[in-house]
Amino acid sequence: MTLETEINTAAAQLKGRTPQETLTWALNHYSKIALASSFGAEDVVLIDMIAKICPDAPANFYVFTLDTGRLPVETYDVMAQVQQKYPQLNLQIMFPQADAVQEMVSTKGINLFYDSVENRKQCCYIRKVEPLSRATQGLEAWITGLRRDQTANRATMETVELDADRQIAKINPLIDWSNDDVWAYIRNHDVPYNKLHDRNFPSIGCAPCTRAIAEGEDLRAGRWWWEMSNQECGLHVTSDGRLVRAKS
């Protein structure tokens, strides 16, 4: 059976399962698996669920985050709270290559991303995409907090997808959840969360590339708002620009 067939079979089997059932299946099924966390609302929900499913550190599992060097202070605050509350979850903080950042900033300026889409993509590549490649090396699967109603791009995603670039599985346990479901879980389970969410930041990335949204705006409208057309950072698209999906 090819990896793609195996993943499509798993996606069919996991349809309608709860996030906890999907996580339990994934943690048992893969010998090396990690949760990608930016400490947004969905990520802290998943962290809490995994800590409850596996009170002891699962040996085959880690949480990783990408510290771009440009994160808001509130993200570091929730990162510290999560480290304190769930010390068993083996948090690995990935940093960009210092030489690459130095070269980019000295040739193009510290806020190069405002000057062109090309510059923004270069900055996201150096600070996020390349560290993500190192973080996912050797994994059989990675877990994300993606939900279908976050963007039109994500509307057709499945619980389990093929990450075509990395040839591993991508698990999206909250894919069927709404924003209200996420916040009900956070409140009911007293989960630490990024305080920027209380100031109309539903989606939080780097400080200079994220703004609060106005009432009625799309949930990801505050990300790279000056470009107006692209609210994906490259972490969930393939190298040729397609979304990471199980079926083409």
Cα dihedral 37, 102, 196, 153 sign: negative
Lookup: tokens for 172? 């999206």
Flag whether 209 is marked binding.
Answer: yes
Residue 161 Cβ, how far from ligand SF4 at the closest point, in Å?
Answer: 23
Stretch in the footprint of ligand SF4 (CB under 6 A) among 86-94, 147-155, 174-182, 203-211: 203-211
Lookup: tokens for 146? 């993606």
Tell me what percent of the chain is helix, strand and coil, each rounded to the nearest 5: 45, 10, 45
Other Cβ atoms less than 10 A from the Cβ of 229: the count is 6
**Among residues 37, 78, 82, 127, the one that binds ligand SF4 under rule CB under 6 A:** 127
Lookup: tokens for 32? 């090396």
Half-sphere exposure at residue 147, Cβ-oriented, CA atoms within 13 angstroms: 21
Indicate the SS3 state at residue 224: coil
The site string for ligand SF4 over 95-124 (x = CB under 6 A, - otherwise) reads: ------------------x------x--xx
Binding-residue total with ligand SF4 (CB under 6 A): 13
Binding status of residue 220 toward ligand SF4 by CB under 6 A: no
Stretch in the footprint of ligand SF4 (CB under 6 A) among 48-56, 82-90, 98-106, 204-212: 204-212
Flag whether 54 is marked binding.
Answer: no
Say whether 233 is catalytic: yes
Q: Which positions are annotated as active-site residues?
A: 233
Binding site for ligand SF4 (CB under 6 A): 68, 70, 113, 120, 123-124, 127-128, 205-206, 208-209, 233
